[in-house]
Amino acid sequence: MSSRQTSLTLSHMQEALAQARQAAAEGEIPVGAVVVAPDGEIILGKGHNRCIADHDPSAHAEIQALREAARTLGNYRLDGCTLYVTLEPCAMCSGAMLHARLEHVIYAVPDPRTGAAGSVLDLFAPSGINHQTTASLLSDTEGGLQLRQQCADLLTGFFRARRQQQAQQRQHAASAPLREDALRPSAKSLKEEGVLQPGSRWTLVPDPGTPTTAAWRVHHLEQGDPAAPTVVVLHGYAGHAGLWQELSDELAHAGWRTLAPDLPGHGLSDKPRQPALHSLPWHQAMLQTWLEHQNLPTGWLLVTLDQAALLVPGDLPPSRVLALESGEAPIAWPDDPILASSDHTTGRAAAQDWRLRCQRSPRFDLPQHWALDDQPALEVLCQACYPDPGHRGALRWQLFAGQPPSADDFDWWQHHGRRLPVQPLEPAPVKLPQPGARIRAALRHNTPQILQWLEQHRAARSAS
């Protein structure tokens, strides 16, 4: 390569680096690209990442530069042109380059995770493709090495800063930004009086599968003296922390501190956009990490309702767990026979009926199910938390709905799960038409028995 060609190559990569810096300034992953005409001098198109700003997964720097170059030429074919990019192109961008019939691609930094020009795969190598585009790493000679290092430093600095920002956000969970793959009830929908309680707290919990990405915001209600003995209460299917309010009031009056989390996908906690993320290992790991973030005192206790018994951490002694089961939503352990057989009692068949309908229907009326007309704040909360099918992903998790588990959930249970002793809730004597209303009434009716269990543990701990 002549000195003139080398100088032009470095100049074009410098322009791509300037584009990458612009992306970083806009909060995008800092990648920049330029397309140069066959004469090697004229820049036909520039681009930097705009995926977040444009809500467009295809808005990579290379695609932006290709689009602008095609508009400049009035032709989607870019024969003889060269593309300069600060990071090795991915499979999508590499495919677009082949379709554009570029002559050459030069990149500054290899990408060992998604690079499709030789790092992970090489889409430019197969000879059977009808057009051949060559791809190469920017040469180290005559300033190339320093330029490559600048491109690499921009990327590493960006991700380092983002990790530091996420670490800082863990200290301010209530105002944490929303993950790109999550949903959250809008602040506008929660303005009604009484929805956000004084005891509302948020914790940022790292995703068990991708702990270095943005965390999930998990909400819980806290009540009682912080120095008092602590009990964590877990809601069951189609529930949220607010449904424990009456019990929490009684526990606080009796000298207990309660923490009632909204399990991920419920209540005011973040909700995965994809229902497929809901699984037994994911929810167990999320709960375990949330518990670790609470710095619970020694000897804390756990009360679960219905299917939440499946999520109990494996290292928590069963003696410290009170697993409650209502006749309206009996606990279905993953290795139980299918609940929907004809041999079940009317109560179990009815429970199967409402949970199955709720799982299948995006418009299942939860406020009516729980009979929340006497508590307007909770009624508004239910409507705000599940306004559309995407928010109801957790309600479509078949295992939490008491349905036969997926193969993955069943396999996980076989290797890691455990059954717990179950305490059936005595039905309340009052006759109510909705299953959820009967569950709420049963919790009120059984509050003395729940308090008795807690007090026995407090007395035993004091005696020891």
Active-site annotation holder among 28, 62, 222, 325: 62
- Name 422's bridge partners: 323
Cα–Cα distance, 17 to 87 (Å, whole number): 10
Please state whether beta strands 271-272 and 301-305 pair in parallel, antiparallel, or not at all (unpaired).
Answer: unpaired
Sole residue written with tokens 């095609």: 70
Contact status, residue 373 vs residue 329, Cβ threshold 8 Å: no
Cα separations (Å) of 391 from 160, 161, 185, 196, 280? Answer: 32, 31, 8, 19, 19
Contact status, residue 240 vs residue 385, Cβ threshold 8 Å: yes
Look up 62 and say whether it is catalytic: yes
Cα–Cα distance, 391 to 368 (Å, whole number): 18
Residues annotated as catalytic (active site), given as ranges = 62
